[in-house]
Structure 1
């Protein structure tokens, strides 16, 4: 099996968007149990938030024009006409020349249009000295200013983070429709691979660490993982084990055997699972060129390189994109990035995207990225790195001190 036409990173992203469908099954979850799930339907606000005009500070509700001209050297004077208690509708009314004390979050009394902060005034036996003029609406949140009745609060495909849960709770929403949780299967291949728990290795053996690293990333993305174990380099056994695991999950991940060696059966195994089959076999990227992406009867299949660093980088770049699409999550144009200065020159080849493991540190108020040089199979480069620098296929490298995009580790 030879490589198909190698795809660029951007072509691969486009093919993922084109080929990977979202799952259709949804469930209703209690809001408190919906963290990191994907909203399956847009939610419309059925009430205003806040439901009343409220103060954002401790101070006095006033008519703003009654404070005009107030200053430290020439204060204004207002009569205190009462106070607002939390959780109660105020009975006091603000008229010309009067003020009512209101705590943070308290309801604005009728007649008032702004709040002067307690730091800028002084209550002297019921006479309020104002030392600053304020504008209408200052220190006030109007009813519906945060969320308006009839407004689409959250669109379908939104990941429910803590802040989204808080917004829904403010509207009294206790249950939400979400896409069901994904289940992916992971299967390692190779005569040299043994369980990671193996205490002592025979010469030539390698512990299966990729399962833990790939499963760990999937778990971070709120995806369950079914471990299919390790399969020998035997085509029939590989195909049977892959088929058995494929039937149980929404996405199948195969590690190892994605290259072009005599015993690399992964492509043929993937093709046997169903149509339309492989749509990417080889990406113009370093590390991770021998990557396979496929669709088999509606389920995505990912063939990862065997080297640990390559497998993690590929799964972070493309596996996360595939799982986000499958979960029904709104697409991101690119993985989240920060920008840092590179500590040394790094050469690269035009036409190939390079991803370099780096240590991120702060120096004199700026972020710097120090390359961790090592071959793709070296495990220690993973442990030492805080992220990966992206050198696009249009560049011939980066120069010391140049700002570079960094995809940080979580």
Structure 2
């Protein structure tokens, strides 16, 4: 306290420490050497203000530290602690109940018989929910029985912030998802079928202020539609803006056919060729989950295009990577 440094004098200051009066620059210790008893020599000149942080340069009183809806990152934790904030009010994690439906669907730990498939969708959707900060609650597998489906959906709806049913959304004899949604509350089904591939039979609904989503049974369709539509809903339930999707502009390796008036999403891997990244589409059937396992992202074919040509620059939306 009260220490002053005049011309021809210096004092040791530790990193992050306050500088005494009369000092306007700091020489890093590795740029100094002893020149005699009680004397040091600077081996590198410094300009006024060099290696000095002015008061308020990092953050000042009244500055917004983090906006509402911001998802706290590791660096944000450091910033909060740096200004002495050790507790913050956060949004409650939304509870998303996910059901698989279908007499042919069995748990993934069971051996399949002819006509049976393992439950893939409730697990992939649940993983996406957790990735977005929600709490995924797998409700199990429901049979193709109207009374059971409605009863279990009503029970889950009471404690959920969002309800997702996988399968049962195609127009068929088994189509009960849309009617279940209509029975849960107003206004009911808003959209039944969207102009995309994969995932055309997707259902979107609202019941008493809660979002409901009916996904196709095919794993690729369910994954793509929940990624593109469901994830933003989970973020909104937390009062947060959906994060900007990471994408890259790369050259297309092969032609991709499409139909005007429909937006296509094609699983795509990125390959390097002669120092340049190329998009290599993985042509697929919507029930083949490993087309996604082997992909780095989704190639989008816009509504107004009838296809994309090999060699043109395209945009690939990258899958999020954890860890």
- TM-score, scaled relative to structure 2: 0.90
Alignment partner, residue 128 of structure 1: 41
Q: Secondary structure at the match of 2:221?
A: helix
Structure 2 spans left out of the alignment, 5+ residues: none
Change (3 A) 1:145 1:131: closer
Using the TM superposition, give the Cα deviation of residue 121 of structure 1 relative to its aligned residue in structure 2, in angstroms.
5.2
Q: Is the 8 A contact 1:185 1:253 kept in 2?
A: yes
Match status 1:141 vs 2:65: no
Alignment partner, residue 203 of structure 2: 292
1:59-104 deviations in whole A, cap 9, x for unaligned?
xxxxxxxxxxxxxxxxxxxxxxxxxxxxxx6x65332344434343
Q: Secondary structure at the match of 2:236?
A: helix
Match status 1:278 vs 2:158: no
Q: Is the 8 A contact 1:317 1:335 kept in 2?
A: no
1:198 to 84, 95, 110: 110
Match status 1:165 vs 2:77: yes
Change (3 A) 1:164 1:237: same
Change (3 A) 1:296 1:129: closer
Match status 1:154 vs 2:66: yes
Give the whole-Å Cα distance in 2 for the aligned partners of 1:159 and 1:225. Answer: 18
Q: Is the 8 A contact 1:355 1:388 kept in 2?
A: yes
Alignment partner, residue 153 of structure 2: 242
Structure 1 spans left out of the alignment, 5+ residues: 1-88
Q: Is the 8 A contact 1:253 1:302 kept in 2?
A: yes
Q: Is the 8 A contact 2:245 2:318 kept in 1?
A: no
Structure 1 segment 10-409 matched on structure 2, within 5 A: 92-118=3-29, 122-125=33-36, 126-132=39-45, 134-199=46-111, 201-332=112-243, 334-409=244-319
CA RMSD of aligned residues (A): 2.1
Report how many aligned residue pairs link the two structures. 318
Moved more, 257-266 or 393-402: 393-402
- TM-score, scaled relative to structure 1: 0.72
1:115-144 deviations in whole A, cap 9, x for unaligned?
244555544222524544x43322221122
